[in-house]
Amino acid sequence: MKQEIRFRLNSQDVTMSVEPNLTLLDMLREELQMTSAKRSCEQGECGACTVIMDGITVNACLVLAISVDGAHIETIESLGATTLHPLQVHFKDLAASQCGFCTPGMILSAKALLDRNTDPTEEDVKEGLAGNMCRCTGYVKPVQAVLAAAKDLREQAKQGWERSHEFR
Ligand code: FES
Ligand code: FES
């Protein structure tokens, strides 16, 4: 029997009626036509379906839709609506994406990392991306892109802090 769930999806409130066995991935792709989370292994192995749930990355293929009741889900559509996020800028500029199949998940894993660690080491970034497989670009450029984005975000935060203290 269907159950009603309410959650936030990229800062918008959503109410849905879902079957108890529907996965978050199927809900996003089939019910909400939000196809940025990709379907590949469906076994939690590849990370193509990565989304952020309450600040933590999850494999949407392994999460039941009913369990997102009350949660905040972020997909890649939450980034770059007006201006590109630094992660998107550096993935583009460094050619860290080729076919792009893994890219939404990889960028979301990177975002979750940078949200909790503004100054990651290369090892931190490798660990943060460890659950995201890429079959064509490899990992050197994505790691470089995440480190460059982290630097930009720190610079933006510093400039914002300086601006907010200019007239005190
Ligand atoms: S499709 Fe979910 S981890 Fe591969
Ligand atoms: S860019 Fe093609 S799988 Fe990663």
Residue 66 contacts residue 1 (beta carbons within 8 Å): no
Tokens of 85: 């996020």
- Above pLDDT 90, what percent of the chain? 91
One-letter amino acid for residue 89 of the chain: V
pLDDT of 26-52, one tens digit each?
A: 999 999 999 999 999 999 999 999 999
pLDDT of 117-145, one tens digit each?
A: 999 999 999 999 999 999 998 999 999 99
* Alpha carbon of 145 to ligand 2 centroid (Å): 14
| 102 C-beta closer than 6 A to ligand 2 | yes
* Alpha carbon of 78 to ligand 1 centroid (Å): 20
* Alpha carbon of 109 to ligand 1 centroid (Å): 13
Pocket test for ligand 2, best of 103, 108, 139 (most atoms within 8 A of CB): 103
pTM of the model: 0.94
Domains plus CATH for the chain? 3-78 (3.10.20.30), 86-164 (1.10.150.120)
3 state SS for the chain:
CCEEEEEEECCEEEEEEECCCCEHHHHHHHHCCCCCCCCCCCCCCCCCCEEEECCEEEEHHHCEHHHHCCCEEECHHHCCCCCCCHHHHHHHHCCCCCCCCCHHHHHHHHHHHHHHCCCCCHHHHHHHCCCCCCCCCCCHHHHHHHHHHHHHHHHHHHHHHHHHCCCC
pLDDT of 44-92, one tens digit each?
A: 999 999 999 999 999 999 999 999 999 999 999 999 888 999 999 999 9
Judge residue 101's burial from the number of C-beta atoms within 10 Å of its C-beta, 0-12 exposed, 13-18 middle, 19 or more buried. middle
- Distance in Å from the first CA to the final CA of the chain: 60
pLDDT of 142-164, one tens digit each?
A: 999 999 999 999 999 998 878 77
Pocket test for ligand 2, best of 99, 108, 141, 143 (most atoms within 8 A of CB): 99
| 48 C-beta closer than 6 A to ligand 1 | yes
